[in-house]
Amino acid sequence: MTAPGLRNDSRAPSRRDFFRSTLTAGGGLVLGLSFGERLRAAVVRPTADPADALPADFQPNAFLKIGSDGSIVVFAKHDEMGQGIHTGLAIAICEELEVDVAAVQVVPAPADTDYGHSAYGIQVTGGSTSTWSSFEQMRRAGAVAREMLVAAAAARFGVEAGECEAVDGTVRRRDGSGEAVGYGDLADAASDLTPPEDVDLKQPATFTRIGKPTPRVDSPAKVRGSALFSMDQRAEGMLTAMVARSPYFGGTLRSSDTAAARAVEGVVAVVEVPSGVAVVAHGFWAAKKGRDALRLQWDAGEGRGLDTAKLRSEYSALAERPGNVARDDGDAEGVLAASSRRHAAVYEVPFQAHAPMEPLSCMVELRDDGGVKITTGSQMLGSDHPKVAERLGVDASKVEFVNSFLGGGFGRRANPAADFTLEALEVALALRDGAGLSTEVRSAPVKTIWSREDDLRGGWYRPMFVNAIEVALGDGRIDAWRHRIVGQSIAVGTPFEGAMVVDGVDGTSVEGAADMPHGIENLRVELHSPKLPVPVQWWRSVGHSNTAFAKESMLDECAEKLGRDAYELRRELLAEHPRWRRVLDVVADKAGWGGPLPDGVGRGIAVHESFRGFAAHVVEASIVDSRPKVHRVVCAIDCGLVVNPDQVESQMQGAAVFALSSAIGSGIHFADGKVVESNFHDFQLVRMHESPAVEVHIVDSDDAMGGIGEVGVPGVASALCSALVAAGGPRIRRLPIGDQLG
Amino acid sequence: MQIRFTLNGRPTSVDATPDTPLLWVLRDTLGQTGTKFGCGRALCGACTVHVDGAAVRACSFPIEYAKDKDIRTIEGLEASATGQAVVDAWIELDVVQCGWCQPGQCMSAAALLSADARPDDAAIDRSMSGNLCRCGTYPRIRAAVKRAAEILAEGGGR
Ligand code: FES
Ligand code: FES
Q: What is the mean pLDDT of chain A?
A: 92
Q: How many CA atoms lie within 13 A of A682 on its CB side?
A: 11
**Confidence bin at B157 (pLDDT 50/70/90):** low
CA nearest A364: which of A278, A308, A425? Answer: A425
Instruction: Find out whether A644 and A87 touch, Cβ atoms under 8 Å.
Output: yes
May I ask the CATH class of domain B2-76?
Answer: alpha beta
pLDDT at A55: 87
Neighbours of A589 (CB within 10 A): 13
Instruction: Find out whether A332 and A283 touch, Cβ atoms under 8 Å.
Output: no
Which residues of A are less than 8 Å from B77 in CB distance? 224
Answer yes or no: is pLDDT of A610 > 50: yes
pLDDT at B156: 66
C-beta atoms of B91 and A355 within 8 A = no
Query: Any residues with Cβ below 6 Å from ligand 1, and which?
Result: B 37-40, 42-47, 57, 59
Provide DSSP, A190-236.
HTTSPPPS--PPPPGGG-SSTTS----TTHHHHHHT-SPBGGG---T
pTM of the model: 0.94
pLDDT at A197: 85
pLDDT tens digits, one per residue of B86-104: 999 999 999 999 999 999 9
Which residues of B are less than 8 Å from A283 in CB distance? 20, 24, 28-29
pLDDT at A52: 55
pLDDT at A42: 32
C-beta atoms of A219 and B39 within 8 A = no
| Extents of the domains making up chain B | 2-76, 78-153
Answer yes or no: is pLDDT of A207 > 50: yes
**Confidence bin at B155 (pLDDT 50/70/90):** confident
**Confidence bin at A53 (pLDDT 50/70/90):** low
Q: Distance between CA atoms of A265 and A290, rounded to whole angstroms?
A: 8
Q: Is A386 on the interface with B (CB under 8 A)?
A: no
pLDDT tens digits, one per residue of A292-326: 999 999 999 999 999 999 999 999 999 999 999 99
CA nearest A485: which of A468, A500, A497? Answer: A468
Protein residue with its CA nearest to atom 3 in ligand 1: B42
B142 to chain A: nearest residue by CA?
A688
Pocket test for ligand 1, best of B43, B107, B133 (most atoms within 8 A of CB): B43
Q: Is A656 on the interface with B (CB under 8 A)?
A: yes
Q: Is B15 on the interface with A (CB under 8 A)?
A: no
Question: Strand, helix or coil at B23?
Answer: helix
Residue A613's DSSP bridge partners are A610
Positive or negative: CA dihedral A378, A381, A382, A385: positive
**Confidence bin at A499 (pLDDT 50/70/90):** confident
Which residues of A are less than 8 Å from B91 in CB distance? 215, 219-220, 223
**Is CATH 1.10.150.120 the classification given to domain B78-153?**
yes
Interface of B with A in 65-94 (CB under 8 A): 73-75, 77-78, 87, 90-91, 94
CA nearest A664: which of A349, A309, A346? Answer: A349
C-beta atoms of A223 and B90 within 8 A = yes
Answer yes or no: is pLDDT of A720 > 60: yes
Interface of B with A in 24-63 (CB under 8 A): 24, 27-29, 31, 33-41, 43-44, 46
Answer yes or no: is pLDDT of B48 > 70: yes
Answer yes or no: is pLDDT of A33 > 60: no
Q: What is the mean pLDDT of chain B?
A: 97
**Confidence bin at A3 (pLDDT 50/70/90):** very low
Point out the ligand nearest to the CA of residue B133.
2
**Is CATH 3.30.365.10 the classification given to domain A308-352+460-726?**
yes
Ordered alpha helix ranges (H), chain B: 22-24, 81-92, 102-115, 121-128, 138-153
pLDDT tens digits, one per residue of A421-466: 999 999 999 999 998 999 999 999 999 999 999 999 999 999 999 9
Task: Give me the mean pLDDT over the B53-65 stretch.
Answer: 98
Compute φ and ψ for A687, nearest 5 degrees.
-110, 175
The response to whether residue A356 sits with its C-beta less than 6 Å from ligand 2 reads: no
pLDDT at A495: 87
* CATH assignment, A15-224: 3.30.365.10
**Confidence bin at A54 (pLDDT 50/70/90):** confident
Q: For domain A230-301+360-449, give the fold.
A: Aldehyde Oxidoreductase; domain 4 (3.30.365)
Instruction: Find out whether A84 and A644 touch, Cβ atoms under 8 Å.
Output: yes
Task: Give me the mean pLDDT over the A510-524 stretch.
Answer: 98
C-beta atoms of B43 and A266 within 8 A = no
The response to whether residue B141 sits with its C-beta less than 6 Å from ligand 2 reads: no
| Extents of the domains making up chain A | 15-224, 230-301+360-449, 308-352+460-726
Answer yes or no: is pLDDT of A32 > 60: no
* CA-to-CA dists, residue A646 to A90, A541, A712, B97, angstroms: 15, 21, 15, 12
Answer yes or no: is pLDDT of A693 > 50: yes
